[in-house]
Amino acid sequence: MDNKSLCIVNKGDVVRMVKVMQQEIPFMREAKSIQQLTKGFSNDQKFVMDDKYLIRLFPIEDANHRRIEFETIMVLSSFSDFVPEAIGFSVQENLGVAYMVLSYLPGKDGEEALSSLTELEQYQVGFQAGVELRKLHEYPAPVGSEPWNIVKKRKSDRYIEELRLLEELDTGVCSNLISYIKSNEYLMDGRPNRFQHDDFHPSNLIVEGKEFNGFIDFQRMDWGDPLHDLQKLGFFGIKVSVPFSMGAIDGYNGGEKISEEFWKLFALYSAMHVVSAFVWGKKMGEEQYDLLSRYAMDVLKDHDDFREHVPRWYREDSIRQNIK
């Protein structure tokens, strides 16, 4: 069995794993129902027990960094009530898998739930998500972590070199992105180094009824400038809901006037994400390249080729009128 992808674990192994967990974890012995979850992009095998617990199975090779994820979730629950409770973690060497048990957050993922809400309700969900994300960002990076500006610049330089090799990309777009990023990298100097969810957008949030109900999918978690967590709103978030994305930014800033420093960093990180989108899209094939390229070009338009720090969608007056 190739343990690097649990997508190919056969049903027999899954059934055996569930039985092992029922034997090992006391509260699972009385389980009335265990249902598999198949939605989402994660390769984890996911199960919901009695609508109370979420069990995530993953390759044993991933156990060390997933344990860090589990322990981080455990700490984060003290910063916000909208983080799943971290209940248990174990390795099953005979099956080549490890697992964690979290509390199950009822509701629907934001991408599905927001479509049935009014613009005001979408904004309110985003606002609360932004408020709670700000709380998570109080968790500092481990002592001895490399400074954010060094880590991010190294990664950005690598993507820029790969961007230069994309023959399909207009040279003007390429040179404009590179010039903007290089001229504004200094903004990262001295930025705080804290927890990053690193995949903050509607699909990784739970909405129950008309209320924000929690964060999910922490696999991409990282450490760095907390404002970096917001840059996917202008790339993915607005494709689901502009009011939600507006609300997330407003909630993150406590409903107060947003500083120029915030918008400059938001624009810088958005530009960096555009570069990585072009590069990763090409690696993932023509279909994904076409999709991510369209999204990237939309970001360029929203920022007027980065002559504007505040994106056009945030300044949309017609939506603002509906969410007052």
What pLDDT is attached to residue 116?
Answer: 97
Tell me: do 91 and 128 sit in the same domain: no
Structure tokens given for 60: 């044993």
Burial of 269 (0-12, 13-18, 19+ CB in 10 A): buried
Which of 29-43, 141-155, 292-306 is least confident?
29-43
Domain identity same for 166 and 73: no
> In residues, how long is the chain?
324
Domain finish residue from 77, 103, 129:
103
Q: Locate the DSSP E strands across 193-256.
A: 194-196, 205-208, 211-215, 222-224
Residues 123 and 189 in one domain: yes
CATH of the domain at 94: 3.30.200.20
User: Is residue 1 in a domain?
Assistant: no
Provide, rounded to the nearest whole percent, the portion of the chain with pLDDT above 90: 77
Sign of CA dihedral 281, 160, 263, 152: positive
Q: How far apart are the first and last CA of the chain?
A: 56
Same domain, 39 and 58: yes
- CATH number for position 270: 3.90.1200.10
Q: Do the domain assignments include residue 300?
A: yes
| 125-135: pLDDT as tens digits | 999 999 999 99
Whether residue 11 is contained in a domain is answered as: yes
Query: Do 197 and 235 belong to one domain?
Result: yes
Q: Note down the domain range covering 238.
A: 108-322
Which region among 8-22, 37-51, 171-185, 211-225 has the lowest average model confidence (pLDDT)? 8-22
The tally of domains found in the chain comes to 2
Q: Is 80 left (phi over 0), alpha (psi -120 to 50) or beta?
A: beta
Q: How large is the average pLDDT for residues 215-223?
A: 96
Average pLDDT, the chain: 91
Residue 17 lies in a domain: yes
Average the pLDDT over 216-225 and give the result: 96
Q: Are residues 136 and 275 in the same domain?
A: yes
SS3 58: strand
Tell whether 284 and 159 lie within a shared domain: yes
Residue 323 above 80 pLDDT? Answer: no
Q: What is the pLDDT of residue 2?
A: 40
What integer is the mean pLDDT of 185-209?
97
| pLDDT confidence of residue 33 | 86
